[in-house]
Structures are given as structure tokens and as C-alpha cells.
Amino acid sequence: MVDKYVEKLVDNSVDKCVNNLVDNCADKCTVIEGNAMINQQFMGQSQPSEAPTWATLWSGYLSQFHPINSNFKQENQSLVQGYLLELSTALERGDSCIALKEKPQQIDEFLLDVGEYQAQDVSTFRQLKPMFWDQGRLYLQRYWRYEHDLAQRIARLLVQHVEQVDLAPYLSLFEDPYQQQALAQGVNSAFSLITGGPGTGKTFVLTHIVAVLKKFYPDMRIAMVAPTGKAAQRMQEALQKAFQNPKLLDAGLYHPDFAHQQTQTIHRLLGIGERGVPRFDASRPLGHDVIVVDEASMLDLHLAKLLFDAIQAPTRVILLGDANQLTSVDVGYVLADFQQVPALQQRHVQLKHSRRFVDDAKIGQFAKLIYATDRPSYAYFLEKAQPQMLQIGDEIPKLAQVNVDWLGFYSLQQSEHASLDTSTLIAIYRQLALGYQAYFSILKDYLAGKVNHQQVAQVFDQYRILVAMRHGALGLAQINLAMTQHLKYALNLVQDSEWFVGRAVMVSSNDYQLGVSNGDIGICLPHPDKREQLEVYFPSLDKWLAVARLPQSIQTAFALTIHKSQGSEFDHVAVVLDQSAQRLMGKELLYTAITRAKKMVSLFSSVTMFEHSLAVRTQRQSGLSAQIIRAIESNGL
């Protein structure tokens, strides 16, 4: 039995790294030994461990070489070290700053108070201090600059004049009034923000915005970008499908450029190389007339700053995204910050009616209830979403048998103090592998020459396992290993090799020489023209690459982290929430996971873990919205 292969995977799988993972919870407290002044001020921060070596060395370096530090005391150096440590911890959480009740004292040599220099342009100072204080927020200088520069760019966009287009002939193309508003905003504004959940028509509206712009400005240069390679590819697929809508042709809105419209990552658009330096910036701006950014919820502060640095008048910007999805992996929550600015709210349209999930769709109801109240209960979930309650081993419907959609809940008997036993874990792995049975079957057909590689890829993309964390018995590594064993057993593969028929892999970094991007997924198969040679086929790129050419960082991808799944869609998604991932879970992670599914969701979780996920919402510290408001006011808006 395959279970014998899997059983050895279960031992020693308790996650030993979870205490080092980023915590989404907002109600945290900070204590720094010997620094009572700091302890009284920090609100809502996590408890740090010992000061890392870099914080100690940096604070010592600053106190030794700062030009005005001759009387700087050892205890003050300890204060600097404490603040640097807290700022580092904040950055790990995704916060750009920390909120304090009072301005830090006794460290003036290292702290610049922005409020004292309102009459001057802080960005022109030659000798700046490592920390900035700005209206109750403490920053490292770099992150204050990121927010400041981005805010200035946004403020300039808002005063940019745009020639108005009469849209009356085209409003009838939409039945949804919110989509009509989005069309008007996208065509007649220099800055537009269009948000909405899955199936609300963001891509549909975007194609009409682009079509109208191309009708009135045929030579307009439009860039379509997304934060990741996978999101850019999904954008490409959706746009190509939407551009084929015969109604565009009937309305006289079709343009030949649509057949060749390409999408790319923001990194590629800006020409960011391995060193992280962009080719395009404020001194060498992009030459496009319109920049469209999809999956804008994934946009972090630094990347947003680089992008807007390279945008100058009269370029227009259109951002699309789902504000309920996960925040960016790196520092900042740019999309949410934009929505807090009154002047940007006037440029924002929220699409509300989903075409993917009909009114009685269980997945749609589930997605809505996640944000329906602050703390939806398990009982509330059962009442509103009405999932099918399952035990491990229960039979579930096949995709072809599902008319509308299907939601199943496996209640795991797991707690913070009681882990799952070996036999239960093996049964869970077996249940998860059932979703890949159609894939295992078509692999056999491919080896027999009955189907082609595109058909294999289509079946593989029907199902995916999504996990919250990398480590642990129900983490990414263990589940991928278990699925590998199930595949090898199904295909009777006996060799113990890194590369084998059916191995699914994900690229984890951009490689422009190979033409692959972070998030690209491929399948290891015998090449159709060289059957004795294993290569990796990338469906989204429709290209083959020899396994020897692929980077060492490539990862097995039967299971994905929920973060990595953003921008993807599958017919059936199995969402696995390990109890040890509690510090990572929240509304955004759960919402993102279930909305990757088009027809079926299988949810594996304990009741306590599930309720925790419904109760916690990500809150990031940022001063970006305040800086934008200030920049707008200084421009007289």
C-alpha cells in the first residue's frame, strides 16, 4: 500500500519553526528589558527576542561615528538599539513604521522630527538621521522616504488634466451600474482604482476601458502589468478571452492591437535586474500612455514607489484588485492605504455583483460571511454556507457531478496541545491525493500515447492543495512529499530520482534568460518529440525546458502556499489549515484560499482554528494615507 511509503514522512514533522513566523494578530504587546520608556510607548507590537547582532552593531556604529555624538551615553545607545530592534520587528510584520504615544526622548542625534521641517523639503537634506518621527509614527528613514515619494507622485497624478470622452454610446454595454461607473472612471481620470471580488467583472470592465481609449486614441501605448509572473499570466489569459467578445466588434470597439496585447510583471516593465535597480525611474520615465496594474492588493510599498517614480504626466494609471485578499508579502498595504484617502475614494469604484458565484452558491456565501461580521462563529458558518460535513475517508462528488458548486468541511480533531496521530495524518494525505486521481490517470494515458501534454496540463489545473505554512505535518513540504509518493505508487515509479514523470514544479524567482517568472508552474513529462528525455512543460508559456536548465530553487507544487496561489483559479481547491499555523491565519488568508476555487472547496481544519481565522484581520501600521492627504493639501486640492 502507498500508506507505507507515506507513513515514514509523518515522523518528526512537528513544526519547530512556527515561533519564528510572522503573526497576523493585532493584539500584541512589547516588552524590552531595561527600557521602561520604550515599554510604556509601544502599542500593538509583538514581543521581540534578544537584540540581533545587526541591531547591536549598527547602534554601536552610529554612536561611534555620528558627527554630533561626543556626549552620547551608553544608556542612550541602548535606547537606540531598542528602537532599531522594534523597527526591524515591525518590518518583518509588514509594517512601515511603529505607532508611539510620545516622541522618543534622549536620542535626538539619531532622530529627525519631520514636523519641525514642514517649511523645507526633507527630501533635499544631505545629512539625514537614521530614524524619522512623523506625527506619532517612528520610521527608519528609508521607509518614510518610500511613503513620502509615493505620496507626492499620487498627488501629482490627481491634478493631471485628462481630455473627457463622451461615453453615452457605450454605457449600454453594461447592465451593472457599478461597471458603468468603472468605465467612466477608467477612461476619464488620470488615476483610477477599481476593486471587487472574484467574478465581479474587473477584467470585463478593463477590456472596455482599453477598447474605448484605443478607439479615441489609436496610437495610445498601454502597459498591462501585475506584481507576479503568475498574476501576469492569468491577466493575459483573461484579457485574450475578453477581447474576443463579439460585442466589442459590434460596438465598433475592436482594435487589431488586442490580438498582440501582452502582460508582464512590474519588475520586467521597470527593467529591474538582479541588483534590484530599475532601468526606468524619475530621471528616465516609462514611455507608456496608460499603465494598468492587476492584483494590486499584492503591491508592496517599495515596488509601488519604484513604479510611480517611473510614471510622469500625461500617463494614466488604473489599479485593479480585491481589497479582501491577502496583503503584500513585503512591507506595506498600498491598496488599503489608497482607499483611506478621501480624494482617492472619489476615484474608486467597488464592483459588487459576482457572476462567478450565483446567489445560492455556497462558495460565494462563504466568501461573503468571512467579512460579514468581526467574529463570525462556526455555528454562523454552518447556517449561512451550509457545507457538507465530512469525515476523513468519506466520498465526495466528482467535478462533473457538481451543478452549481460544492463546499465540504472536514473537522480535524486537533488543538494547540494535541497533534494528529500518524494514522490520521496518513488518512488525510490519502484524502488529499484523491483530488489528483484524474491527473494520475491521464499521466498513464500520456505515457501510452493516448493524449497530448496540453490535455495533461488541463487536468492538472483542475485541482490544487493550498496550505497556510511551509513546515509541519500539514505544511507545504510534507504534503508535497506525500503527494509525490502517491503519484509514484499510482504510476509504479520505482526510481528515487529528483525528476520523475508527473512532478509538478513552481519557479520561485524570475529568470529572464529562460523566460520564466516567479510563480510559473510546469509539469515534468517525456518530451513529445524525444520520449526518452524528461523535460518540464510550462502550460502558461506553452514552452518546454530541459530539467538541467532549471534553477536549483525550483519547488514541487502539488501543494501551494495560499500566498503563492494568488492570481490563480482552479475548479477544486483543498484548503488545509494546520493548528500550528494559527499565528499566520486571518480573514484575508482564508478568503484568498477559498476564492481560488470555481466549483469545489474541501476545507480541512479544526473548529478552533477555523473560528480563529474568521476572527483575525490583518492590520498593518502605515503612514502612507496620511502622507498622501498631506501631499494633496500642499498641492491645493
**Which residues make up each annotated binding site?**
196-203
Sign of CA dihedral 523, 600, 437, 467: positive
- What element of type H or E holds 596? none
Cis peptide before 67 (omega within 30 of 0): no
Beta strand pairing status for 597-605 and 137-140?
unpaired
DSSP secondary structure letter of residue 417: T
Indicate the burial class of 542 (C-beta count within 10 angstroms; 0-12, 13-18, 19 or more): exposed
Integer CA distances (angstroms), 617 to 25, 92, 586, 594, in order: 7, 17, 5, 16
Integer CA distances (angstroms), 71 to 61, 129, 560, in order: 15, 17, 54
Annotate 56-108 with DSSP letters as a single string: HHHHHHHHHH-TT-TT--HHHHHHHHHHHHHHHHHHHHT-SSEE-SS---S-G
The three-point CA angle 292-293-296 to 5° equals 150
* C-alpha 577, offset from chain centre: 18
Q: Which residue has the cell 519604484?
A: 306
How far apart are alpha carbons 56 and 61 in whole angstroms?
A: 9
C-alpha grid cell, residue 127: 545629512
Integer CA distances (angstroms), 280 to 209, 228, 292, 583, in order: 26, 18, 17, 39
Beta strand pairing status for 316-321 and 290-293?
parallel
Cβ 291 vs Cβ 318: under 8 Å: yes
Q: Is 330 helix (H, G, I), strand (E, B) or coil?
A: coil
Annotate 456-519 with DSSP letters as a single string: HHHHHTTEEEEES-SSSTTSHHHHHHHHHHHHHHHHT-----SS-TT-EEE--S-BTTTTB-TT
Contacts for 273 with CB less than 8 Å, ≥ 6 apart: 279
Q: Is 613 helix (H, G, I), strand (E, B) or coil?
A: helix
Cβ 146 vs Cβ 302: under 8 Å: yes
Bind-site residues for ATP: 196-203
Contacts for 428 with CB less than 8 Å, ≥ 6 apart: 392, 410, 412, 420, 474, 576, 604
R_g of the chain computed on alpha carbons = 26
Q: Is 259 helix (H, G, I), strand (E, B) or coil?
A: helix
Indicate the burial class of 204 (C-beta count within 10 angstroms; 0-12, 13-18, 19 or more): buried
